[in-house]
Structure 1
Amino acid sequence: MTSQKKATVVSSSVAAVLTLLKLIIGFASGSVAVLASAVDSILDMFVSIFNYFAISKSEKPADKNFNYGRGKIEALASVIEGTIITLSGFFLLYQAIKKAIVGETSQYLDISIYVMIISLIITISLVTYLNFVAKKTNSMVIKADALHYKTDVFSNLAVLISLLLVTFTGYEIIDVFVGGGIAIYIIYSAYELIHEGILVLLDRAVDEEVVSKIEEIIKENNKVNTYHLLKTREAANQTFVEVHLVFDCLITLMDAHRASDSIENKIKKLDTSRDWIINIHMDPYDDFKINDLHH
């Protein structure tokens, strides 16, 4: 098992343990903030499992059934996870509003505080480990996972402060506000997952900055007269590029092929961490209008 996979297994296992602890204490104590933190840990677990899944699938090459690979599974999973997390966030908001209206009081605050302190220590340790693996492997997935858990450090700290304030002041409204705030943050995070997943499923083009760099590479080659029908899309760690290059009609096939290879190699160097799938169509004249009518 690679270091990246081990890191995702560790992070998902830690998130599962923290989820179980927080759910038990959250329901027993009636603290909305602790419940919100539990749901946030569920989000962490989903993301870590998803990262393991993404890394595993990215290692599988395209085959006769999946000619373009399985990159879109990542986007589909993201949409499903985001939907589930959104429902969880609305449930937390309901719990917070219900507590504010009914006036429920939190129980087992001492145990809840201890659980959040333990969670904070474990999360900080996990972030340290993930940063170590990310630095060692230069994995973008693990770097993102480490960044995600860094935000949880602040979330756990906010819940801990909330519990301490409720303990010393007796104002339950603090728990309602903190729990509701985390619920809104969870819904926002889920929206980002769903939004990005849908855009990938719809074959959104890559960033304009990357497209501009690809165009510059093509224009720099003196063998190419012009180009058209430049298309790009992304799926998981793969970037797909299609383009029609127009050469002089008297150029040899060998020279046109060499020019195309040169352009392809330069495009791949834009980001060596990604798997580039480049399809170049060589035209002896500019047939853009003809092609445009058929697209």
Structure 2
Amino acid sequence: MTLQKKATIISSSTATVLIVIKLFVGILSGSVAVLASAIDSVLDLIVSAFNYFAITKAEQPANKKFNYGKGKIEALAAVIEGTVITVSGLFIFYTAIKKAIKSEPLEYLGDSIMVMVISLALTIALVLFLNYAAKKTRSMVVKSDALHYKTDVLSNGAILVSLVLIQVTGFEMIDSIMGVVISIYIIHSAYEIIRDGVYILLDASLDEEVVEKIRNFILEEKEISDFHYLKTRKSGNTNFVDVHLVFSPGISLLRAHYAGDRIEEKIKELIPNEEWVINAHLDPYDDSEMNDTQPIKMD
């Protein structure tokens, strides 16, 4: 089993444990913050289960129907996850406002505080593992899951602080205020997840730092006089690079081929634990003006 799949299974298991204890104490205490956190954990479980499905599909090899594989399903999963997070944030916001208007008293504060301490400890441990898995695999799904649970760490910590303050001061409006703050933060964090997923679905280029290094590798190759139509994109764990390399007209095909190979090897070393598909078109002269392909406008 791959590390990506293990990460989603551990996420799902952790979410299940948190759902049980949060719902039980949240219903008893009537704390909107604890109940909101329980609902968030339910969504965590749904998202983690979907992520497992997405990773399973993304890892399938290319075939006759899907020539480039199914890597983009990870980006689609990230967009769905971000949308789910946004919806949960909106629900928490609504619940917090409703709680403030009705002014319902809190009960079992001690139990609620204990639940949030346990929840915070489990979530911190999960985030540490997901961060490790994300760095090792560079999977967008795992990265999104890690970011999601990071927001849970902050929200659980905020809820814990609010419950302690309520127990000390007796000012129960803190519960609703904290619920509103948490909801706004959750919605804000979801934006980044959705944005990154949409960028990949729309074939956005690789990070500018990576693209600049690719340009430098090409320019450093003494056999190449120029290049054009450099295009990059990402799909799942695979990076795609297309470029036209310009050589002197008299160069042999073998020398041009070796030069292209040297550049490809350097590019692959940029992120060695990811797949690279590099398509280099060898030109004996600069044909960019004659080519029907429209040149890319660089800002």
Which of 129, 136, 139 matches 1:138?
A: 136
- Residue 216 of structure 1 and its aligned partner are, at CA, apart by 0.5
**30-39 or 168-177: which moved more?**
30-39
Change (3 A) 1:238 1:129: closer
- 1:66 alignment partner in structure 2: 66
**176-185 or 151-160: which moved more?**
151-160
- 1:88 alignment partner in structure 2: 88
- 2:38 alignment partner in structure 1: 38
Matched, 1:23 2:47: no
- Residue 62 of structure 1 and its aligned partner are, at CA, apart by 1.3
- 2:266 alignment partner in structure 1: 266
Q: Distance in 1 between matches of 2:112 and 2:165?
A: 13
- Residue 278 of structure 1 and its aligned partner are, at CA, apart by 0.7
The 3-state SS of whatever aligns with 1:204 is coil
Q: How many residues align?
A: 293
Change (3 A) 1:193 1:14: same
Amino acid at match of 2:26: G
Amino acid at match of 1:115: V
Q: Is the 8 A contact 2:130 2:143 kept in 1?
A: yes
TM-score, normalised with respect to structure 1: 0.88
Q: Is the 8 A contact 1:76 1:197 kept in 2?
A: yes
- 1:182 alignment partner in structure 2: 182
- 2:283 alignment partner in structure 1: 283
The 3-state SS of whatever aligns with 1:168 is helix
- Residue 42 of structure 1 and its aligned partner are, at CA, apart by 4.0
Amino acid at match of 1:164: V
Write out per-residue CA displacement over residues 16-73 of structure 1, whole angstroms, 9 at most, x where no aligned residue. Answer: 2212432343344332211332244345435544554454344322111111111111
Q: Distance in 2 between matches of 1:271 and 1:46?
A: 31
Amino acid at match of 1:76: L
- Residue 224 of structure 1 and its aligned partner are, at CA, apart by 1.1
Following TM superposition, where does structure 1 have runs of at least 4 consecutive aligned residues deviating by more than 6 angstroms?
A: none
Q: Distance in 2 between matches of 1:193 and 1:39?
A: 20
**109-118 or 62-71: which moved more?**
109-118
The 3-state SS of whatever aligns with 1:290 is coil
| Mapping 1:171-250, distance limit 5 Å | 171-250=171-250
Change (3 A) 1:284 1:275: same
- Residue 161 of structure 1 and its aligned partner are, at CA, apart by 2.0
Write out per-residue CA displacement over residues 171-205 of structure 1, whole angstroms, 9 at most, x where no aligned residue. Answer: 11111111111111111122112111111111111
TM-score, normalised with respect to structure 2: 0.87
Q: Distance in 2 between matches of 1:194 and 1:129?
A: 22
| Mapping 1:161-180, distance limit 5 Å | 161-180=161-180
Change (3 A) 1:178 1:294: closer
- Residue 85 of structure 1 and its aligned partner are, at CA, apart by 2.0
Q: Distance in 1 between matches of 2:39 and 2:259?
A: 54
CA RMSD of aligned residues (A): 2.6
The 3-state SS of whatever aligns with 2:230 is strand
Q: Distance in 2 between matches of 1:14 and 1:129?
A: 12
What are the ranges of 5 or more consecutive residues in structure 2 without an aligned counterpart? none
Write out per-residue CA displacement over residues 62-97 of structure 1, whole angstroms, 9 at most, x where no aligned residue. Answer: 111111111111111222222222122111111111
Matched, 1:109 2:109: yes
- Residue 138 of structure 1 and its aligned partner are, at CA, apart by 3.3
Change (3 A) 1:128 1:262: closer
